[in-house]
C-alpha cells in the first residue's frame, strides 16, 4: 500500500495511468555530483516509469548551454537554474511553464517564503528549489585556535580580535582565493547583509539604491579591515594570484599557513579531496559572525528546477522534486544540502552537514540568495568584469570612494535605464 501511494505521488490524481516515455534534464553537475544526482533520477524512474536522460552543462554553465539549445530549437524538458535572475528572465520571455496545482501545493508545503519568492515571477511559481548552498561559513584550524587560546567568535568585532591574536602566533588569519573574483563578492555580500539588513540587500540587488550609498561604502571599509594585508596569507599579491581551490589547499597545512578560510559548505568537498584534514576533527566551521547581536543571516546559493516544455512526464518530475523523498538519496550520499523544510535532518550522514543544513533552514526570512547571482551576469557573474574586477582592484588601491563609484558606473551600464 505504501509503495502504491509513493508511485501515485508521481502522477496526477486525475490521471491514474502509469507514465512512460522519456524526459530530458539539464543541470550543472558533473563528476561525483552527477553520480549522486543520478540516484535522485533513479528514484523518480522507479516510481514513475519515465526514463530520464541527464545532460551536464559542464564548465560553460547552464545559462550558456540553454542559450545554445534555445537557438537551435532543442531545449531540454527540465533545467536546474543556479541563478534566480535567469529564472525571471526566462519567465518574462514566456519560455517557462508555470507549475501545476499539485506542484505548487507541494512547494508551498515544503519550502519557506524566501525560496518561494526566488522561484516565482509575476506572482506565479515557475520553479522548485532543489539544492541549496550555505555560503556564510568560516572554516578554521582547530589546533591553531587551541594554541592561540581563542574560540569561534560570534561578532565581526570578535573576528577581528581573533585575527589579531593569531598574528601574535605568526599565523595569518585568512587564506583567500582572490584570483577567482567570486570569492570576494561572497565576502562583500555576507558583510553587506549583516551591516545593511535584508531590505537594503534586496534594494541593492535590484539596483534601486546606488552602489555609492553609505551602506555600501561602510561595507567596503569593513571588507578592507578584515582583508588587511597583515591578515592575509601571503599578502594581497598572493591572494590575487591564488584560485579558490588553491586557497583551500594552502590553508590549515601547518605552521605559517592560514588559520581560517571563508567560503561555503563546498569547502568540505575540497578538503576531502586533499585528504590530510578531517572535517570535524582537524578543521571545523562556524557561522559568519553577526554585525551586532546574535541574529544569524545566511547568504546562500542553490539550484531551482524549471519546466521548459509541457508534458505529463515533466509535471510528474516537478511534483516529485518538491517532496522530501526526492532530496533523500543525495542527502544520504553526501555533498548536498536541501532547502526542503520537511526533509529529516537525520538523513545527512555528517554531523557537520546537519549543522550547515539546519542553519539554512533556521535563517528563514533572513536567508538571501548570493547577491551577485541576482544581478545581470555582466555585472555580478563574469570574471574580470563588474563586481569581481572592482573588488580585486579594491584590495590593491584601498580607495573605497573610487571603488563605489566604479561599481555604480558598471551597474548602470549592466542594468540599463
pLDDT for position 4: 43
Q: C-alpha grid cell for residue 16?
A: 491514474
The 10s digit of each residue's pLDDT in 173-217 is 999 999 999 999 999 999 999 999 999 999 999 999 999 999 999
The 10s digit of each residue's pLDDT in 298-316 is 999 999 999 999 999 999 9
For the chain, helix, strand, coil in percent to 5 are: 55, 15, 35
The 10s digit of each residue's pLDDT in 92-110 is 999 999 999 999 999 999 9
CA atoms of 417 and 55, how far apart (whole Å):
37
Within a 13 Å sphere around the CA of 292, how many CA atoms are in the beta-carbon half?
A: 3
In whole angstroms, how far apart are CA 116 and each of 100, 113, 128? Answer: 15, 5, 8
pLDDT for position 369: 95
The 10s digit of each residue's pLDDT in 320-366 is 999 999 999 999 999 999 999 999 999 999 999 999 999 999 999 99
Alpha helices in 169-323 (DSSP H): 182-205, 214-226, 235-240, 244-250, 267-274, 312-321
Could you tell me which residue, 61 or 238, shows the higher pLDDT? 238
The 10s digit of each residue's pLDDT in 254-275 is 888 999 999 999 999 888 888 7
- The DSSP output letter for 290 is B
pLDDT for position 301: 94
Q: Which run of H or E residues covers position 367?
A: strand 367-369
Given the C-alpha cell 601571503, which residue does it identify? 234
pLDDT for 16 beyond 50: no
pLDDT for position 8: 44
Q: Which run of H or E residues covers position 45?
A: helix 31-48
Amino acid at each position: 500500500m505504501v509503495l502504491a501511494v509513493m508511485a501515485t505521488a508521481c502522477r496526477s490524481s486525475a490521471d491514474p495511468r502509469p507514465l512512460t516515455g522519456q524526459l530530458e534534464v539539464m543541470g550543472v553537475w558533473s563528476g561525483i555530483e552527477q553520480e549522486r544526482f543520478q540516484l535522485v533520477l533513479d528514484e523518480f524512474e522507479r516510481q514513475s516509469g519515465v526514463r530520464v536522460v541527464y545532460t551536464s552543462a559542464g564548465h560553460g554553465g547552464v545559462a550558456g548551454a540553454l542559450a545554445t539549445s534555445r537557438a537551435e530549437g532543442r531545449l531540454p524538458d527540465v533545467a536546474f537554474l543556479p541563478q534566480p535572475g535567469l529564472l525571471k528572465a526566462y519567465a518574462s520571455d514566456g519560455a517557462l511553464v508555470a507549475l501545476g496545482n499539485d506542484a505548487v501545493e507541494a512547494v508551498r508545503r515544503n519550502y519557506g517564503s524566501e525560496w518561494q519568492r526566488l522561484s516565482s515571477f509575476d506572482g506565479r511559481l515557475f520553479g522548485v528549489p532543489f539544492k541549496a548552498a550555505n555560503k556564510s561559513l568560516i572554516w578554521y584550524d582547530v589546533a591553531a585556535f587551541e594554541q592561540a587560546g581563542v574560540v569561534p567568535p560570534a561578532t565581526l568585532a570578535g573576528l577581528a580580535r581573533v585575527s589579531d591574536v593569531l598574528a601574535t602566533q605568526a599565523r595569518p588569519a585568512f587564506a583567500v582565493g582572490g584570483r577567482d573574483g567570486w570569492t570576494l563578492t561572497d565576502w562583500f555580500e555576507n558583510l553587506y547583509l549583516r551591516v545593511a539588513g535584508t531590505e537594503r540587500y534586496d534594494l541593492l540587488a535590484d539596483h534601486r539604491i546606488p552602489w555609492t550609498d553609505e551602506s555600501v561604502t561602510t561595507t567596503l571599509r569593513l571588507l578592507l579591515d578584515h582583508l588587511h594585508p597583515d591578515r592575509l596569507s601571503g599578502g594581497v599579491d598572493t591572494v590575487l594570484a591564488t584560485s579558490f581551490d588553491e586557497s583551500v589547499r594552502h590553508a590549515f597545512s601547518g605552521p605559517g599557513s592560514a588559520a581560517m578560510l571563508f567560503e561555503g559548505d563546498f569547502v568540505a568537498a575540497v578538503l576531502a579531496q586533499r585528504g590530510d584534514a578531517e572535517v570535524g576533527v582537524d578543521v571545523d566551521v562556524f557561522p559568519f559572525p553577526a554585525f551586532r547581536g546574535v541574529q544569524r543571516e545566511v547568504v546562500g546559493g542553490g539550484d531551482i528546477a524549471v519546466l521548459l516544455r509541457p508534458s505529463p512526464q515533466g509535471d510528474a518530475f516537478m511534483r516529485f522534486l518538491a517532496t522530501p523523498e526526492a532530496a533523500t538519496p543525495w542527502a544520504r550520499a553526501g555533498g548536498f544540502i536541501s532547502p526542503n523544510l520537511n526533509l529529516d535532518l537525520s538523513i545527512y550522514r555528517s554531523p557537520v552537514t546537519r549543522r550547515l543544513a539546519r542553519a539554512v533552514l533556521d535563517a528563514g526570512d533572513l536567508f538571501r540568495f548570493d547577491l551577485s547571482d541576482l544581478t545581470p551576469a555582466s555585472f555580478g557573474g563574469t570574471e574580470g568584469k563588474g563586481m569581481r574586477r572592482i573588488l580585486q582592484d579594491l584590495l590593491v588601491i584601498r580607495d573605497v570612494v573610487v571603488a563605489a563609484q566604479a561599481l555604480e558606473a558598471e551597474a548602470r551600464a549592466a542594468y540599463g535605464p
